[in-house]
Structure 1
Amino acid sequence: MAPAEFKGLLRPQKSQQTGQFALFSFFVKDLFTLQTLILFGSVVQILLISVLPFRVAVLPAAVLTFYAIASTALGTAFSPKDAYMRDVMVGRTSAQYPSRATARFGNQPAECPIVVFHFGVRFSHPLGLFSPGARQTLDHFNACNDLVFQQTDEYGMLGASPWRAAERGSGNTLMMVYYFRDVEGLNKFAHDDIHRKAWDFLSKGGYKHIGFFHEMFCVPAKAYESIYGNMHPLLMGLTSVKCTNEDGEEVWIQPVVDADVGPLRSQFGRMGTAVEKHT
């Protein structure tokens, strides 16, 4: 008996849910080290005490402390869904791509090949985003990111997620993880004038403290798998595929399916190789 068709957990959309990101604010959030933040707070507090009465000078710190404790206590006691559980899908899910021709998931795991592309920059300088050349670098990075989001169908871009490196004291390494249908679409993006200008600036700009990188992985069918437990859509789960449904309408479908069924319960099963591995 053939396994049942996989059950998609998210409703089809009329347009792609790409979830663009404010990259500058994404960087600024973790721009400074903990020591720098403590020093900044200490300087501000000293300045307040030096010009204001003590009771008034400590009021901002007291208010912030009370707010942090109260919001944490309330969040723990009541666990407001809109704040902490927004978009979280309780249980186990997996990313399985639907057929572009039918908009159906079928029952065969990991049927579609995929291209994974890592694209990032690093500022190895005490001033981080305020170092020489950093602003221009981010402008180019944003331009490339805007381009690929604006022409997702042309380039076959399925979606993206932002990530920071954590191997150093401050989060000055930003990486975008993109997913493409095929390498031809990615190559077309790489040859666009906007990307070429960014490449020329980074490779010929002479800023040795500005690092940049990309990695590409061409993953064939039956060579990948995914599992998410109590997670909101991210990575492959945040991508979406342009499909034609039974009514002939174009819809965008996210590949999040229930993973507690059939072959999706095991690693080899999610790769569609369970039979081969056990024969």
Structure 2
Amino acid sequence: MFAKPIPGRTTAAAEGEVVVFLIGMRINHFRAPHQWLPVFLAMPRMLRELRRDPQSGLLGYQLLSGSPRTYYVVQYWESKEKLLEYAAAPEKLHRKGWALINRFEHKSRQHVGIWHETYVVPPGNYESIYGDMPPYGLAAATGVLPVERRGATARERMDRSRAAAE
């Protein structure tokens, strides 16, 4: 199932603050799948859990691969509070997955690496443009608008976003 491109130039319909969460793993030793496969399989389970719960705060995500060794997810969240709430919730898969990773870490002899980065981006400090693209990235998470509704240039789109927040 491929999304159809939207003709012309569009922009993301994001309003206000944007929370971007990057999370990934690196397979350091392919010959030990019993060490890295549980980590690899944990993320799709968490994403399914989040998709089933519209109140979770996850707006959207993109699964990406940096190389045959590295896999990561770009996630867009409603707020940093929702992201932190999910991460700490004892009944959710993240907490269980994190406990599993911590147990494996001591035994894994560095077979798998994990990382994450969180960015809270205030209004006026982000903008987007998509040309002849299906909804992607931030636009897939927040919706799509004709670019003219936000401004013809990156500066106009950022200034409009900043002014709307004030």
TM-score, normalized by length of structure 2?
0.84
1:115 and 2:19 are equivalent in the alignment: yes
1:215 and 2:132 are equivalent in the alignment: no
Q: Is residue 121–residue 212 contact of structure 1 (8 Å, CA) maintained in 2?
A: yes
2:127 to 220, 225, 233: 225
Residue in 1 that maps onto 2:146: 258
What's the C-alpha RMSD, in Å, of the aligned pairs?
2.4
* Cα displacement string for residues 186-232 of structure 1 (whole angstroms, at most 9, x for unaligned residues): 01110123211211222331321111111100011111000111111
Give the secondary-structure state (helix, strand or coil) at the position aligned to 1:223.
coil
Going from structure 1 to structure 2, the CA distance change for 1:221 and 1:146 (only over 3 Å counts) comes to same
* Cα displacement string for residues 128-151 of structure 1 (whole angstroms, at most 9, x for unaligned residues): xx6222232233223222222222
Going from structure 1 to structure 2, the CA distance change for 1:274 and 1:156 (only over 3 Å counts) comes to closer
Give the secondary-structure state (helix, strand or coil) at the position aligned to 2:94.
helix
Residue in 2 that maps onto 1:44: none
Which residues of 2 match residues 73-152 of structure 1 at below 5 A? 86-97=3-14, 111-127=15-31, 131-151=33-53
2:94 to 180, 192, 195: 195
Higher relative contact order (CA 8 A, sep 6+): 2
Q: Is residue 11–residue 144 contact of structure 2 (8 Å, CA) maintained in 1?
A: yes
* Cα displacement string for residues 78-120 of structure 1 (whole angstroms, at most 9, x for unaligned residues): xxxx97xx511121110023xxxxxxxxxxxxx4111001111
Q: Is residue 35–residue 111 contact of structure 2 (8 Å, CA) maintained in 1?
A: no
Identity between Structure 1 and Structure 2 (%): 26
Runs of 4+ in 1 over 6 A off after TM superposition: none
Residue in 1 that maps onto 2:155: 268
Going from structure 1 to structure 2, the CA distance change for 1:203 and 1:275 (only over 3 Å counts) comes to closer
Going from structure 1 to structure 2, the CA distance change for 1:274 and 1:123 (only over 3 Å counts) comes to closer
Distance in 2 (CA, whole Å) between partners of 1:142 and 1:90 is 31
Distance in 1 (CA, whole Å) between partners of 2:41 and 2:131 is 36
Q: Is residue 124–residue 161 contact of structure 2 (8 Å, CA) maintained in 1?
A: no
Give the secondary-structure state (helix, strand or coil) at the position aligned to 2:51.
helix
Can you give the 5+ residue segments of structure 2 that lack an aligned partner in the other structure?
A: none
Give the secondary-structure state (helix, strand or coil) at the position aligned to 1:268.
helix
Larger Rg: 1
Distance in 2 (CA, whole Å) between partners of 1:136 and 1:120 is 13
Residue in 1 that maps onto 2:63: 162
Give the secondary-structure state (helix, strand or coil) at the position aligned to 1:224.
coil
Deviation at 1:233, TM superposition (A): 1.1
Going from structure 1 to structure 2, the CA distance change for 1:201 and 1:112 (only over 3 Å counts) comes to same
Can you give the 5+ residue segments of structure 1 that lack an aligned partner in the other structure?
A: 1-81, 98-110, 241-254
